[in-house]
Amino acid sequence: MSRLELNGRKVEFHPGETLLQLASRHGYAVPTICYHEATGTRGLCRVCAVEVAGQARPVPACATLAQEGMEVRTESDELHTLRRTIYEWTMLATDTSEAPGIEREAALLSTDPARWGRAPQDRLRRVPIRDNPFFLRDYAKCVQCRRCVDACGDGIQGVWALSLAGRSLQSCITTPLELSLPESPCVFCGNCVQVCPTNALKPLAEAALQGGPA
């Protein structure tokens, strides 16, 4: 077994173990948004950033393998500020009202999205898409984590009916040629709905119970 230092403790790690997996195994809660064990990792959201001695910047714990002799810190004032800022920007631009994981972490970090001023409306004005009999796509609630894209593609299903298009606040999940889902390669497996952390993808039955479009 190889060893490294995690928050001041000498710990052993397995070959191929990420810093996120290692921290979790040793009881350190590192927040994540984009990471899901079924879809792997792309290190997109950056809220799992941790400090590694000798590295100029924090590194994404989900996308960094444990290495012999590393000195890793999962908590510091700088990491707290970084995570708080990411959550605030996310909550300012996106409807996170049905994302309990994000709301919970944001509360722990005492976030105050309003301190950044007026909310950009690009995402918040998106109208829910109902183009199939199974689930709604409400991209005002989408945090661009790509979990659905990867679940549909090489993560689970292998049909690539979804992709991420555009940049920054204009970025959005879409289909090939912006076709409706029934016209796309979608096989309605539901995997994308299962991994969505914000309820942007929601079964129509649940939407109906909430009084939304059904």
Q: Distance (Å, rounded) from C-alpha 12 to C-alpha 208? A: 49
CB of 172 to ligand SF4, least distance (A): 9
The residue type found at 103 is: E
> Is residue 156 packed enough to be buried (19+ CB in 10 Å), middle (13-18) or exposed (0-12)?
middle
Single out the residue of 128, 190, 203, 212 in contact with ligand SF4 (rule: CB under 6 A). 190
Pairing of β 172-174 and β 163-165:
antiparallel
CB of 193 to ligand SF4, least distance (A): 7
Single out the residue of 47, 186, 202, 207 in contact with ligand SF4 (rule: CB under 6 A). 186
Helix (H, G, I), strand (E, B) or coil at 27: coil
Q: Interface mask (CB under 6 A) for ligand SF4, residues 132-161, using x and -?
A: ----------xxxxxxx--xx----x-x-x
Nearest to 60 by CA among 89, 86, 98: 86
Under 8 Å between Cβ of 162 and 148: yes
CB of 162 to ligand SF4, least distance (A): 5
Q: Of 93 and 142, which CB lies nearer to ligand SF4 in the complex structure?
A: 142
CB of 85 to ligand SF4, least distance (A): 19
Angle between helices 77-93 and 100-108 (to 10 degrees): 140
CB of 156 to ligand SF4, least distance (A): 7
Q: Distance (Å, rounded) from C-alpha 161 to C-alpha 146? A: 13
Work out whether 196 is an interface residue with ligand SF4 (CB under 6 A): yes
Work out whether 162 is an interface residue with ligand SF4 (CB under 6 A): yes
> If binding means CB under 6 A, how many residues of this protein chain bind ligand SF4?
27
Helix (H, G, I), strand (E, B) or coil at 21: helix
For the chain, report the end-to-end CA distance as a whole number of angstroms: 54
The region of 10-18, 44-52, 190-198, 206-214 touching ligand SF4 under the rule CB under 6 A is: 190-198
List residues binding ligand SF4 (CB under 6 A): 142-148, 151-152, 157, 159, 161-162, 173, 186-192, 195-198, 200-201
